[in-house]
Chains A and B, each alone.
Chain A
Amino acid sequence: DQQVKQNSPSLSVQEGRISILNCDYTNSMFDYFLWYKKYPAEGPTFLISISSIKDKNEDGRFTVFLNKSAKHLSLHIVPSQPGDSAVYFCAATRNQGGKLIFGQGTELSVKP
Chain B
Amino acid sequence: NAGVTQTPKFRILKIGQSMTLQCAQDMNHNYMYWYRQDPGMGLKLIYYSVGAGITDKGEVPNGYNVSRSTTEDFPLRLELAAPSQTSVYFCASSYEGSGYTFGSGTRLTVV
State the A residues within 8 Å of B (CB). 4, 6, 9, 41-46, 89, 93, 95-105
Contact = CB atoms under 8 A, between A and B. Distances in A.
Contacts of A9: 40
A102 B59 CA distance: 11
A93 B33 CA distance: 14
A6 B99 CA distance: 22
Interface string B76-105: 000000000000001010001111101111
A42 B99 CA distance: 17
B97 A102 contact: no
A25 to B, nearest CB: 12
A103 B96 CA distance: 22
A89 B33 contact: no
Contacts of A104: 40-42
- Indicate the size class of the contact surface on chain B: 20 to 34
Contact of A96 (B58, B59, B97, B102): B97
A96 B4 CA distance: 21
Contacts of B99: 46
B92 A43 contact: yes
Contacts of B92: 43
A69 to B, nearest CB: 24
B74 interface: no
Contact of A46 (B4, B43, B96, B100): B100
B52 interface: no
A26 B41 CA distance: 16
A6 B40 CA distance: 10
Nearest to A90: B42
Nearest to A42: B104
With most chain A CB atoms within 10 A of its CB, the pick from B42, B96, B98 is B42
Contacts of B104: 41-43
Given A43-B102, A99-B97, 6 more contacts: A41-B105, A43-B4, A97-B98, A99-B48, A101-B59, A102-B35
